[in-house]
Amino acid sequence: NAGVTQTPKFQVLKTGQSMTLQCAQDMNHEYMSWYRQDPGMGLRLIHYSVGAGITDQGEVPNGYNVSRSTTEDFPLRLLSAAPSQTSVYFCASSFRGVSDTQYFGPGTRLTVL
Amino acid sequence: LAKTTQPISMDSYEGQEVNITCSHNNIATNDYITWYQQFPSQGPRFIIQGYKTKVTNEVASLFIPADRKSSTLSLPRVSLSDTAVYYCLVGGANTGGFKTIFGAGTRLFVKA
């Protein structure tokens, strides 16, 4: 199993550009989530999904969109990038939810100029 | 969701036992307690999970008193490679458990 994969590893955007961060898992997990981590800080939940076709907002959803058309994939879209979205983004998956072990991807380091 | 409180940082020396305590006064009956470890430039990694009393695995032990309002992660004989941030999470499927809230974590620095 590859576990949780994320692409790209690094990305530089200009203010106003849009892009999609990709996340995929091959463990048949129902629960997937996106976090952002700013320097020296803990992780903050952006969006999560409890299964294909079902998504919900986390702590900091503004400026981000998600969709879950398959169990395996959970892309995160930045609609109009802003410098405040400069961060490291982690995708995670688990079988059910927070009471289950969450497996994290390697992260995407995003810089918005 | 139960809020957790942990020390911001701790220092230790190689070979010592390290205990990191997490307070979660509002823990709900169905909540589990989970600890994660994060190294720089990596995603968090599961260490241990428990509901009550004591849980032990090959990496750590987790002690949970009867009232479950706190928990202690115990790392036996730490090495330099245990330098990391440790997060305590509390939640379960019946208490908004699909929203995982990470606090600031405890930054452990192990010295030679």
DSSP B14-78: TT--EEEEEE-TT--TT-EEEEEEE-TTS--EEEEEESSEEEE-SS-EEEE-TT-SEEEEEESS-
- Say yes or no for a CB contact (<8 Å) between B98 and A48: yes
Question: Hey, is the C-beta of A95 within 8 angstroms of any chain B C-beta?
Answer: no
Q: Which of A30, A31, A43, A56 to substitute to test the interface with B, most B CBs within 10 Å? A: A43
Chain A neighbors of B91, CB-CB under 8 A: 97-99
Query: What pLDDT is attached to residue A65?
Result: 97
pLDDT confidence tier of residue B95, bands split at 50, 70 and 90? very low
> How far is A43 from A45, CA to CA, in rounded Å?
7
Do the Cβ atoms of B44 and A90 come within 8 Å? Answer: yes
3-state secondary structure of B91: strand
Query: A34 CB contacts (<8 Å, ≥6 apart)?
Result: A21, A23, A45, A46, A47, A48, A58, A64, A66, A74, A76, A89, A90, A91, A92
Mean pLDDT, residues B80-108 taken together: 79
What pLDDT does residue A98 have? Answer: 60
Q: Note whether A35 contacts B102, CB cutoff 8 Å.
A: yes
User: What pLDDT, on the 0 to 100 scale, is given for residue A76?
Assistant: 98
Q: Per the CB < 8 Å rule, is A42 touching B43?
A: no
- Would you give the DSSP letter of residue B84? E
For B17-58, the pLDDT digits (tens) are 999 999 999 888 888 899 999 998 899 999 999 999 999 999
Percent of chain B with pLDDT over 90: 71
Q: Which of B43, B91, B102 sits opposite A42 (nearest CB)?
A: B102
Per-residue pLDDT 10s for chain A (113 aa) are 789 999 999 999 999 999 999 999 999 999 999 999 998 888 898 999 989 999 999 889 999 999 999 999 999 999 999 999 999 999 999 887 666 788 999 999 999 99
| Residues B69-93 pLDDT 10s | 999 999 999 999 999 999 998 876 5
Contact B91 A42 (CB under 8 A): no
